[in-house]
Structure 1
Amino acid sequence: MGGTIVIKLSRRNFITAAASGLAASALLGPKALAQGPVDFAGQTIEWWMPFAEGGGSDVWARFFAPFLSKHLPGQPNVVIRNVPGGGSITGANEFVARARPDGLSLLGTSASTQFPFLLGDPRVRYDYAKLAPVLVSPTGGVVYLPARFGVTSPAELGKITGEELVYGSQGATSLDLVPLLAFRVLGLNVRHVFGMTGRSDGRLAFERGEATIDYQTSSAYLTNVLPLVEQGDAVPMFSWGVLDANGTVQRDPTFPDLPHFVEAYEMMHGSAPSGVEFDAYMAFFGSGFAAQKPAMLPEGTPEDIVFTYRKAFEDAVNDQELQAIKGDILGDYVQAVGPDIEKLYAVATSVEPAARDWVREMLTTDYQVQF
């Protein structure tokens, strides 16, 4: 099977967001340049992080910060401002309330910030549609099973649909919502055991035989799970995959020989996935992995400043020094910059109302989540 599956993202709000975003992007060229050069010489730019120091998003921002400084006009000082709390909602709320649209404030978020927005959490005061994206970073992950099941590919998953599988989860509304939806779409019978403090807990439960299906992010998979595969104890089933600039599901470049989730579904069921459950999966997969970490300027930021930031991030991503050291921070994933940013950003920050309502009802009914 080839590595490209075209999924037409027919969610009305996605189309609207993408179309309006592309229209805005078209205005950022000659018009922005006509307003004169932007210069941040002698200035300090605060990159807001609604997370504590040392986490994955904080490391991501600190990795990019010196390259952003290098490629912005005037080479301003770029500092990280950590504002943790409320599962990242607190810092994002504070940013939209206080940050000025002068180019000196930048917000970075992750799936844990985007999921509450997509689910309609009443604590959320930020609206991604009003922010101006300047960078979107993807990541990936791999789902695997114990070798003792005798399942060697997704085409054989039907062998275990009658068996209860166990997955160690950090919570129904955490990033583990993506595998929760994926397993449901596939038709697997999975019991989610909550309370894991990280994906490493899930892997250890798998190694002890307490969990019988698991996924790990790309770097964790390569470091900790690949040895289990090589020892004959685990078998990879599929990656989540990535999205290209057109919203097309592609194979994960880190795992080009593994089918992505949509391919896995087709191998198992003989047809392409569809329906509200799949729409929900695509929305949260896009936000959780394919476009996990966006960087944005405040509402009302002038077009010339937005253009300048997008150009700076594009130059930063192409910087030979960054390419040489990106390693485990960025992996082999294509960073969305310049004109490629709008569609991926729309994927990360929009969900069709029917799919959102279905997820909320499912979480409330099956997992006692209160909104």
Structure 2
Amino acid sequence: MTIKTLAASAAALALLSGPALAEVDFSGKTIEWVIPFSETGGSAKWANFFAPLLSQELPGNPTVVVKFMPGAGSTKGANWFQEQEHKDGTMLFGSSGSTQFPYLLDDPRVRYDYNDWIPVMATGTGGVAYLNPEDGAKFDGSANGLQDVDLIFGSQGATGLDLVPLLAWKLLGMNVEPVFGIKGRGDGRLMFERGEATIDYQTSSGYLSGAADLVAAGTAVPMMSWGALDEDGNIVRDPTFPDMPSFKEVCAATDGCETEGVAWEAWKAFFISGYPSQKIAFLPKGSPQDVIDTYVAAFEAVRARPDFAEISSNEVGEYPMFVGEGAAKATKEATTVTPEAKAYVIDWLKDSYGVTIK
């Protein structure tokens, strides 16, 4: 199935059938929501937030359990999910930017195909970079005072979601040495807390649940958010962090950083792929239409809760939630980049980290 046919078939997701929904009953069952990261990161926070809400809205109110399967920057879990097929509607998979980027870059570890998966819900997110107090004191809205500082960053890998901050720091002329191999962004935060890393970033949910406490305690200094997209596709301040400059603002204020040209467009392309449509919930291939419709209706009911805007803002940030056909569109956006952006990033990965994409 191609992306085009995926989007076309997903249009049917919005056409919910009352009789079909009535036939699906998860009473007494357990839904396993598989997350290909550790239990300490933003994807864990995201799934654990939605799991009890989904349980309340699925027919029969099944228990929804979040199961973690970290490894190889999330490709281990994604490759496993690729081999799964529908059995009884009791399996979900949660993808993230760190799963999408290796797919976009033709990473040889990838044996999964997004065209085979059935998206039922997607949400965007943001990200915040922060520094230790000593180096944070050198940040004045630009990175000029940080260009001669050697910084250390705990990373899951250069071809995953960490690509966005690593490339951002390069464009700012900063010297950031990644220590590769951590299993989740929460592990990167722990490295920062122990003083083993001097710069870190978290997606919005991870920042709100952990790193914000470090800032409040004075042991971390926020630098910038990656930003958000407005309706015209322009990068603006993240609505979850309106008092924090976006990367575009910091870049514009920093000597040598340009907000146009091939490097900027490559960063923006992967930012769009990795953040505005970052986290996606999938059913496995072969899932029947009545099960798909049931999940779409349940997530739609979650989104329609009168308290959803408030509770989601506090837990995962102020970002749109897409359901059914909207989730299929978000999936297409998250798994598509231009050949020019892809070529630039592949060359940069090879030159900077010796990563060769074959």
Q: TM-score, normalised to structure 2's length?
A: 0.77
Structure 1, residues 226-261: CA drift from partner, whole Å, max 9, x if none? 4438xxx84x44211234677553422221122322
Alignment partner of 1:73 is 2:62: no
Cα 1:185–1:341 change in 2 (3 A) is: farther
CA distance in 2, matches of 1:183, 1:215: 11
CA distance in 2, matches of 1:36, 1:216: 41
Equivalent pair of 2:169/2:176 in contact (CA under 8 Å): no
Equivalent pair of 1:69/1:77 in contact (CA under 8 Å): yes
Alignment partner of 1:200 is 2:189: yes
Number of residue equivalences = 342
- 1:9 match: none
Equivalent pair of 2:128/2:226 in contact (CA under 8 Å): yes
Q: Which residue identity is paired with 2:113? A: D
1:1-371 correspondence to structure 2 within 5 Å: 23-30=8-15, 32-33=16-17, 36-42=20-26, 44=29, 45-52=31-38, 56-100=42-86, 103-144=89-130, 146-149=135-138, 151-154=139-142, 157=143, 159-160=144-145, 163-170=148-155, 171-186=157-172, 188-195=173-180, 197=182, 198-200=187-189, 203-204=192-193, 211=198, 214-217=200-203, 218-219=207-208, 220-228=210-218, 234=221, 236-243=222-229, 249-268=235-254, 273-319=259-305, 326=312, 329-371=315-357
CA distance in 1, matches of 2:46, 2:356: 32
CA distance in 1, matches of 2:89, 2:75: 22
CA distance in 2, matches of 1:303, 1:274: 44
CA distance in 2, matches of 1:48, 1:258: 33
Computed over aligned residues only, the root mean square deviation of the Cα atoms, in angstroms, reads 3.7
CA distance in 2, matches of 1:184, 1:55: 24
Structure 1 counterpart SS, 2:270 = helix
Equivalent pair of 1:51/1:57 in contact (CA under 8 Å): yes
Shift in Å at residue 41 of structure 1?
1.4
Of 173-182 and 36-45, more deviation after overlay is shown by 36-45
Equivalent pair of 1:39/1:73 in contact (CA under 8 Å): no
Structure 2 counterpart SS, 1:224 = helix
Of 68-77 and 298-307, more deviation after overlay is shown by 298-307
Equivalent pair of 2:36/2:78 in contact (CA under 8 Å): yes
Structure 2 counterpart SS, 1:313 = helix
Equivalent pair of 1:243/1:344 in contact (CA under 8 Å): no
CA distance in 2, matches of 1:201, 1:46: 27
Equivalent pair of 2:141/2:245 in contact (CA under 8 Å): no
Unaligned ranges ≥5, structure 2: none
Equivalent pair of 1:241/1:290 in contact (CA under 8 Å): no
Q: Which residue identity is paired with 1:46? A: E
CA distance in 1, matches of 2:74, 2:265: 25
CA distance in 2, matches of 1:267, 1:346: 33
Equivalent pair of 2:265/2:341 in contact (CA under 8 Å): yes
CA distance in 2, matches of 1:358, 1:162: 23
Equivalent pair of 1:245/1:340 in contact (CA under 8 Å): no
CA distance in 1, matches of 2:77, 2:147: 44
Equivalent pair of 2:100/2:160 in contact (CA under 8 Å): no
Shift in Å at residue 221 of structure 1?
3.6
CA distance in 1, matches of 2:47, 2:147: 44
Cα 1:269–1:215 change in 2 (3 A) is: same
Structure 1, residues 79-112: CA drift from partner, whole Å, max 9, x if none? 4444444443233222222222764432112233
CA distance in 2, matches of 1:290, 1:29: 21
CA distance in 2, matches of 1:128, 1:167: 33
Equivalent pair of 1:246/1:343 in contact (CA under 8 Å): no
Unaligned ranges ≥5, structure 1: 1-15
Shift in Å at residue 313 of structure 1?
1.0
Structure 1, residues 252-310: CA drift from partner, whole Å, max 9, x if none? 22211223223333444799733432333234323443333210122344445434322
Structure 2 counterpart SS, 1:28 = helix
Q: Which residue identity is paired with 2:188? A: R
CA distance in 2, matches of 1:82, 1:215: 21
